[in-house]
Amino acid sequence: MTKEAVPAAKLRVAAVTPFTTIDFPGKLSAVVFVQGCPWRCPYCHNPWMQPREFAPDLEHGSWQGVEHLLKRRKGLLDGVVFSGGEPTIDPALPAAVERVRELGYLAALHTGGAYPAHFAEVAGRLSWVGLDVKASPDLPDAFDRAAGRTGACAKFLETYRTLREAGIEYECRTTVHPTLHDEAGLMRLADWLEAEGVEHFALQIYRAPKGLLLSKLLARVDADYPGDAVLERFRQAVPHFTLRRES
């Protein structure tokens, strides 16, 4: 029996950024944030997007609103980035990706790789992927600790293999905090990136969001974290290294 497709209209749109130049390299894009994530990274900046259900007291978007935006912005935007939360959690994602392409836009995805089978359903239709690497996949316990869920590393690796086989352009990115990522662990991450031949990598230094009460990582990150030797190692390991200070 074939699985019935879930229509794009069912996509749980938490929020929309109508215009950005930074979320899809080289493209002007809109970002659609999908509600729900199975992981519990202690540094999550969007914990209100973790439950699959919308919070009754918070506003959210709709697929109808996304289509309206895309029809109005025709010629002004190149693409749509599905982000989250974890967009591959949503069974309507394949139809939403298809619809975006029908409307003449490129489709991109931000994912941590939590649902490899769902990722495989959309991979062939994506033009670019931003892939979160929670810690070195050679240190699965540290990876799972950073994701807040046992088994996260195994899911990530399955998604990563599919991504590589599909030949999609991608960037790996890791958000780091000293309580989750010591310097030895970061060196192991650099080793993994180099061994895999990853070309684009961004190291994102955790910064506490405003309204810190939501954050479980109360410790401030020192300005000298991570040290120069670690940064130098990343520069050697990947051809295109970016250092981002999150805010």
Q: Is 85 an interacting residue with respect to ligand SF4 (CB under 6 A)?
A: yes
To ligand SF4, the closest distance from the beta carbon of 102 in angstroms equals 28
208 binds ligand SF4 (CB under 6 A): no
Of 155, 161, 187, 158, the residue nearest 174 (C-alpha)? 187
Interface map 52-81 toward ligand SF4 (x if CB under 6 A): ------------------------------
Q: Which of 79, 112, 137, 226 binds ligand SF4 (CB under 6 A)?
A: 112
**Residue 137, both tokens:** 């996949």
- The beta strands (E) that lie in the chain are given as 13-20, 29-34, 79-84, 106-111, 128-132, 169-176, 200-205, 240-245
Q: Is 36 in the site for ligand SF4 (CB under 6 A)?
A: no
- The answer to the question of residue 130 lying near ligand SF4 (CB under 6 A) is no
Token code pair at residue 210: 């405003």
* 50 counts as binding ligand SF4 under rule CB under 6 A: yes
Among 86, 90, 144, 171, binds ligand SF4 (CB under 6 A): 86
Question: In this complex, which beta carbon is closest to ligand SF4, that of residue 47 or of residue 104?
Answer: 47
Q: How far apart are CA 55 and CA 30, in angstroms?
A: 23
62 close to 15: Cβ distance less than 8 angstroms:
no
Closer by beta carbon to ligand SF4, 1 or else 218: 218
Provide the token pair at 174. Answer: 């890791």
Answer yes or no: are the C-beta atoms of 3 and 140 closer than 8 Å.
no
The contact set with ligand SF4 (CB under 6 A) reads 37, 39-41, 44, 46, 49-50, 84-86, 112
